[in-house]
């Protein structure tokens, strides 16, 4: 854990492996990629249909009520991503405090993913 919130993390390479497994192996472990960036950030860089988007401002306003059905499962594996990994670490720590049990922040965010794994997701 190398973030100020003490949130558990997953590397961008581990995320890439999980995304690849999900695309090629229907029996792979299911997970939810939760993108907490704001809507205006999405056109610049995104995971397409791979992610569920719940902007941080919406989470702040509606708390757990902002979570769509798949994310409401407290035991689901949820990987939280943002631009650089700060907001995702904050959300991960908050979700763990709210009772979720299997949440990880994507270290370095979509920026690190684009730089280290796949520039096609975009950068800003």
Q: Of all residues in the chain, what percent carry a pLDDT higher than 90?
A: 98
**Stretch 101-121: mean pLDDT, rounded?**
98
| Cβ contact 95:74 at 8 Å | no
Instruction: Look at residue 1 in the predicted model and tell me its pLDDT.
Output: 58
Q: pLDDT (tens digit, 9 = 90+) per residue, 52-84?
A: 999 999 999 999 999 999 999 999 999 999 999
Q: Does domain 9-121 have CATH number 3.40.250.10?
A: yes
User: How do strand 51-53 and strand 32-35 relate by DSSP bridges?
Assistant: parallel
CA distances in angstroms from 38 to 32, 41, 108, listed in the order given:
18, 6, 17
Instruction: Look at residue 29 in the predicted model and tell me its pLDDT.
Output: 92
User: Sheet containing 32-35: which strands, arranged edge to edge?
Assistant: 9-10, 103-106, 78-81, 32-35, 51-53
| Cβ contact 113:121 at 8 Å | yes
pTM for this model (two decimals): 0.96
**Stretch 44-56: mean pLDDT, rounded?**
97
Instruction: Look at residue 2 in the predicted model and tell me its pLDDT.
Output: 78
**Stretch 100-119: mean pLDDT, rounded?**
98
């Amino acid at each position: 854990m190398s973030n100020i919130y003490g949130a558990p993390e997953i590397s961008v390479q581990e995320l890439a492996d999980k995304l690849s497994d999900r695309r090629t192996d229907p029996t792979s472990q299911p997970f939810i990629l939760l993108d907490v960036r704001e809507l205006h950030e999405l056109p610049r860089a995104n995971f397409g249909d791979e992610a569920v988007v719940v902007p941080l401002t919406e989470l702040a306003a509606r708390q757990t009520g902002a979570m769509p059905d798949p994310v409401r499962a407290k035991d689901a594996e949820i990987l939280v991503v943002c631009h650089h990994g700060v907001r995702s670490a904050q959300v991960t720590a908050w979700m763990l405090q709210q009772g979720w049990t299997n949440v990880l922040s994507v270290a370095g965010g979509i920026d690190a993913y684009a730089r280290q794994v796949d520039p096609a997701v975009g950068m800003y």
